[in-house]
Structure 1
Amino acid sequence: MNNTQGSRASNQLAENQSSQLHRGLSLRHILFIALGSAIGTGLFYGSASAISLAGPSVLLAYVIGGAAVFMVMRAMGEMALAHPVAGAFSEYATQYLGRWAGFVTGWSYAFEMALVAVADVTAFSVYMKFWFPHSPSWVWIAIVLLLILSINLVQVKAFGESEFWFTLIKVAAIIAMIVGGILLMIFGVNAHAGEPSSISNLWNHGGFFPNGLGGFIACFTVVMFAFGGIETIGIAAGEAENPKVSIPKAVNTTPVRILLFYVLALAVIMTLMPWNSIDGETSPFVQIFSSLGIPAAAHVLNFVVLTAAISAINADVYGAGRMLYGLATRRLAPKSFAKTDRRGAPFMTVVCMGLVLVIGVVVNFLFEDAFLVIASLATFATILVWVMILVSHIAFKRQLAREGATSDFPTPGWPWASYIALAFMLAIVVQFAFFEDTRLALLVGAAWCVLLAIIYKFMPHDDAAAPNGAAARPLNK
């Protein structure tokens, strides 16, 4: 197939995949979806686990992890700008690595979102315990389930608007907490009994690396989990009104903003109170304001973290649903997943994710300390998806070089930065084997890959399975 035919095939594929989905996401929606998808459970709840593992050195871990994730975002953004289609990076893997790669990438992302949704549901029930300590978790999860389904079963603009306002609330709260924490330090207000608020808290309690190199390395499981979901921007590209404007802006600004929020927020927390006094029973954010003896502030902040959890679950359902829709259009998922209603919503995939949230209720009921296990499994799936994005991008760039084509949004530091990011991601997978809490995730992840290989072996592999030239490798010169 020549370049003209390949480009025509790609354009036709993009039109077919997006014809039933409505391009109703504005620049404002895209920016806040990208920002909100990675500011949620990982910061408000999971950060307590990361701090307990690494102490103050967790700040350095977020910087390193954020830099690697930025390279993933740029790689995905460069491909998304060339091909803004439903299924996003699963489609890129199909085009540049082969149909099997698209299958593995797409289903692993859906698996990731399912696990993250369960983790978010777990966090949601924990937050509600702050107000109703003796209430059953399933009541609150049933309520949030109905809310999420109602949002995702209407036009995509409703999802964009809900994410915009949810994200606005939690970003405003984080900024207020950072500013308020700095003011508390300036005026000498102690957030912890017998321990003055001071920047020296970052090294006075066992040093900056209180648990040694082992603790620092171990925290990357939770750190990378916190960044999970940032790839939702690639999914949203298929429904963006003007992807050529919104995608570059979202990709360039979101990782930096998220990194600043994480590092600044956690630095303020560990300055106000010693890292080893953060118990993890509630959100560290709520714990700070409760320890100050200002119950009203703690209640307000608990509302914020509840909003963040709802926002994250909302993004999980959206991302997995759109990915399954894209897989179904290429016969890599059940055909029913490609059906949309009159509002352009892929209702079968939304219902499927609703069932996953029901499983979250069972997990909450059976396991009290499920968060770290779920976070480990989700991190494995997340890293696998990021690895596939980076490898697909490398193949994409090589194809560009062979065809003498140019990119509208070139990745910085190519090729070394991309290869370093890839090596870092693979190192995260390897480190799973060295810690008891994450070893199970590695075993389950390996079993997941074997399961995908078996399922793929029995799927149709003829040309009809890749409609409209999905296997082609189009490039715009």
Structure 2
Amino acid sequence: MSYQNTNSSQEKGDLQRSLSNRHLQLIAIGGAIGTGLFMGSGKTISLAGPSILIIYMIIGFMVFCVMRALGELLLSNLQYKSFIDFSTDLIGPWAGYFVGWTYWLCWITIGIADLSAIIYYLQFFNGGMPFTPEEGVMISIAAIVFIMGLNLVTVKLFGEMEFWFALIKIIAIIVLIAVGLWMIFTGFTSDAGAVASFTHIWSHGGLFPTGTMGFLAGFQIAIFAFVGVELVGTTAAETKDPEKNLPKAVNSIPVRIIIFYVLALLIVMSVTPWNQIDPNISPFVNLFSQAGIAAAAIIMNLVVLSSVMSSMNSGVFSTSRMLFGLSREQQGPKAFGRLNKRAVPANALYFSAVCLLLGAALQYFVPDTVKAFTLATTLSTILFICVWLIIIWSYIVYYKTRPELHAQSTFKLPGGLFTCWMVIIFFISMIYVLSLESDTLQALMISPIWFVILLIGYFGFYKPKQK
């Protein structure tokens, strides 16, 4: 592959393995606790009721299978630095091109969604008043410049900042679980007269109070809550001792899902019945406010803001590494493959930042931040599903054509091909589910435009340059 270590010029320099196990573990946790959990869970609860717990467990299991496949692929050949490498090697150059550019767009759309979320949560500190479009753009520019500054210095600083961003999220959720349990066991009564109790999970219409359609509708934002968990795969090239640290990070995903999603939302719906939760307010902020903890709303809004900044930090990191990989495979502009003196792909970072700034203009065209958030999250969900499917497809090819590598793997995907087909059927069915709601259908109808752009780019610019 084109990532061989070299001591030559920066243009041919290699990404450095600067991220420790501590960084990788927290990046994996940070990826698993996204903006979708904090901002989107209220809407998901209103759509699906308590069945959201089952939704998160189903999606969590499927994403875990994708991550196990990803882990086995990356460890089968340590020259694989990201999805681009193994999909190019196993499926063909077009697959590396497709997955690299699509993953780049995934994080650009998430960045745009995050900008909407930042503006939405900063309204709390603006007396609850919405910002003008001009103010929204200025806030977006400030956020992008801040994140760019973090990513331009060193990879280690990125890892350190992501470590602390993730730690804030973890502490907030653990405190929420503890406070929620205290409210349940002391018989806390809300302003609406509801007494906190685990019985709320089944006593307001059962586990599926909104029926089959409500249950299916809950999957869209729930899937978005998991996007970013595969970030571990994009950090592989910059992780020390990947054979030891990557399996640890991947295997801890189920525990995180149970604690940070299932248990946290079980507590939320036990304190406040699902049908009394406002879809437009983060249930995490609401729980602390109800508990009467001094300055709880301020603290929780700051936590949610740090979560959004964490997501943007991860996104800018991912986009730059994808562009770097594409450039090294001659599937993107050469400039993106150059590293600065700190071994950071600065040109790729600048390009992603410019694209995010263009996304900030969305505030002018869609001033409703919740609507802008829904559109951007749905589009990124569709694209992430495509990326996950390419990972599984790569695994199927690897399983069939490299049996000797699979046989000697110490980190095998449980279930092999059966698991692969189960995951493929599930995610294809999720694309159908996205067509059932009018707001998610809009983004689904827009998504083919991206695939047309990819076709033009590949056949018009990069296919003739393949080695």
- TM-score range (shorter-chain normalised) is over 0.9
Question: 1:465 is matched by which residue type in structure 2?
Answer: Q
Contact 2:45 2:52 in 1 (8 A): yes
Cα distance, 1:21 vs. partner?
A: 1.6
Cα distance, 1:459 vs. partner?
A: 2.8
**2:419 alignment counterpart:** 417
Distance in structure 2 (CA, Å) of the matches to 1:450 and 1:291: 49
Distance in structure 2 (CA, Å) of the matches to 1:37 and 1:321: 17
Which stretch has the larger CA shift, 304-313 or 246-255? 246-255
Which stretch has the larger CA shift, 153-162 or 130-139? 130-139
**2:252 alignment counterpart:** 253
**1:442 alignment counterpart:** 444
Distance in structure 1 (CA, Å) of the matches to 2:415 and 2:343: 39
Evaluate the alpha carbon distance shift between residue 439 and residue 264 of structure 1 in structure 2; reply closer, same or farther with a 3 A threshold.
Answer: same
Which stretch has the larger CA shift, 94-103 or 19-28? 19-28
Cα distance, 1:222 vs. partner?
A: 0.8
Q: Does residue 95 of the first structure (1) align with residue 89 of the second (2)?
A: yes
Contact 2:180 2:287 in 1 (8 A): no
**1:314 alignment counterpart:** 313
Question: 2:379 is matched by which residue type in structure 1?
Answer: L
**1:145 alignment counterpart:** 144
Q: Does residue 294 of the first structure (1) align with residue 293 of the second (2)?
A: yes
Distance in structure 1 (CA, Å) of the matches to 2:268 and 2:238: 38
Evaluate the alpha carbon distance shift between residue 102 and residue 404 of structure 1 in structure 2; reply closer, same or farther with a 3 A threshold.
Answer: closer
Which of 427, 438, 453 is 2:429 aligned to? Answer: 427
Which of 379, 384, 387 is 1:385 aligned to? Answer: 387
Contact 2:327 2:334 in 1 (8 A): yes
Contact 2:119 2:139 in 1 (8 A): yes
Distance in structure 1 (CA, Å) of the matches to 2:334 and 2:190: 56
Q: Does residue 119 of the first structure (1) align with residue 113 of the second (2)?
A: yes
Which of 372, 375, 378 is 2:374 aligned to? Answer: 372
Evaluate the alpha carbon distance shift between residue 285 and residue 404 of structure 1 in structure 2; reply closer, same or farther with a 3 A threshold.
Answer: closer
Cα distance, 1:14 vs. partner?
A: 4.3
Deviations 1:119-171 (CA, angstroms, capped at 9, x unpaired): 11111111111111334333432332221011000110000000001111110
Question: 1:362 is matched by which residue type in structure 2?
Answer: A
Evaluate the alpha carbon distance shift between residue 403 and residue 146 of structure 1 in structure 2; reply closer, same or farther with a 3 A threshold.
Answer: closer
Distance in structure 2 (CA, Å) of the matches to 1:339 and 1:402: 35
Q: Once superposed, what is the RMSD of the aligned Cα atoms?
A: 1.9
Cα distance, 1:404 vs. partner?
A: 7.9
Gaps of 5+ in 2: none
Question: What secondary structure is seen at the aligned counterpart in 2 of 1:15?
Answer: coil
Evaluate the alpha carbon distance shift between residue 187 and residue 370 of structure 1 in structure 2; reply closer, same or farther with a 3 A threshold.
Answer: same
**1:128 alignment counterpart:** 122
Cα distance, 1:355 vs. partner?
A: 1.9
Q: Does residue 29 of the first structure (1) align with residue 23 of the second (2)?
A: yes
Distance in structure 1 (CA, Å) of the matches to 2:375 and 2:16: 37
Which stretch has the larger CA shift, 324-333 or 86-95? 86-95
Distance in structure 2 (CA, Å) of the matches to 1:319 and 1:38: 15
Contact 2:152 2:346 in 1 (8 A): yes
TM-score of the aligned structures, taking structure 2 as reference length: 0.93
Which stretch has the larger CA shift, 453-462 or 56-65? 453-462
Deviations 1:274-294 (CA, angstroms, capped at 9, x unpaired): 212222333211112223343
Cα distance, 1:20 vs. partner?
A: 2.6
Cα distance, 1:403 vs. partner?
A: 7.3
Question: What secondary structure is seen at the aligned counterpart in 1 of 2:207?
Answer: coil
**2:47 alignment counterpart:** 53
**2:466 alignment counterpart:** 465
**1:285 alignment counterpart:** 284
Distance in structure 1 (CA, Å) of the matches to 2:406 and 2:244: 24
Cα distance, 1:338 vs. partner?
A: 0.8
Distance in structure 1 (CA, Å) of the matches to 2:404 and 2:248: 28
Question: What secondary structure is seen at the aligned counterpart in 1 of 2:326?
Answer: helix
Which stretch has the larger CA shift, 403-412 or 157-166? 403-412
**1:472 alignment counterpart:** none
**2:349 alignment counterpart:** 350
Question: What secondary structure is seen at the aligned counterpart in 2 of 1:461?
Answer: helix
**2:267 alignment counterpart:** 268
Cα distance, 1:381 vs. partner?
A: 0.4
Cα distance, 1:370 vs. partner?
A: 1.2
Equivalent residue runs for 1:147-296 within 5 Å: 147-296=146-295
Distance in structure 1 (CA, Å) of the matches to 2:266 and 2:177: 9
**1:470 alignment counterpart:** none
Question: What secondary structure is seen at the aligned counterpart in 2 of 1:397?
Answer: helix
Which stretch has the larger CA shift, 188-197 or 401-410? 401-410
Evaluate the alpha carbon distance shift between residue 307 and residue 403 of structure 1 in structure 2; reply closer, same or farther with a 3 A threshold.
Answer: closer
Cα distance, 1:202 vs. partner?
A: 1.5
Q: Does residue 40 of the first structure (1) align with residue 42 of the second (2)?
A: no
User: Share of identical aligned residues, percent?
Assistant: 38
Question: What secondary structure is seen at the aligned counterpart in 1 of 2:14?
Answer: coil
Evaluate the alpha carbon distance shift between residue 142 and residue 459 of structure 1 in structure 2; reply closer, same or farther with a 3 A threshold.
Answer: closer
**2:59 alignment counterpart:** 65
**1:338 alignment counterpart:** 337
Distance in structure 2 (CA, Å) of the matches to 1:121 and 1:424: 30
Evaluate the alpha carbon distance shift between residue 429 and residue 297 of structure 1 in structure 2; reply closer, same or farther with a 3 A threshold.
Answer: same
Distance in structure 2 (CA, Å) of the matches to 1:396 and 1:364: 44
Question: What secondary structure is seen at the aligned counterpart in 2 of 1:409?
Answer: coil
Gaps of 5+ in 1: 1-9, 467-477
Evaluate the alpha carbon distance shift between residue 192 and residue 66 of structure 1 in structure 2; reply closer, same or farther with a 3 A threshold.
Answer: farther
Cα distance, 1:335 vs. partner?
A: 1.3
Evaluate the alpha carbon distance shift between residue 294 and residue 13 of structure 1 in structure 2; reply closer, same or farther with a 3 A threshold.
Answer: closer
Deviations 1:205-228 (CA, angstroms, capped at 9, x unpaired): 232212111111111111111100
Question: 1:15 is matched by which residue type in structure 2?
Answer: N
**1:82 alignment counterpart:** 76
Question: What secondary structure is seen at the aligned counterpart in 2 of 1:46?
Answer: helix
Question: What secondary structure is seen at the aligned counterpart in 2 of 1:208?
Answer: coil
Distance in structure 1 (CA, Å) of the matches to 2:270 and 2:379: 31
Distance in structure 2 (CA, Å) of the matches to 1:311 and 1:19: 27
Question: What secondary structure is seen at the aligned counterpart in 2 of 1:458?
Answer: helix
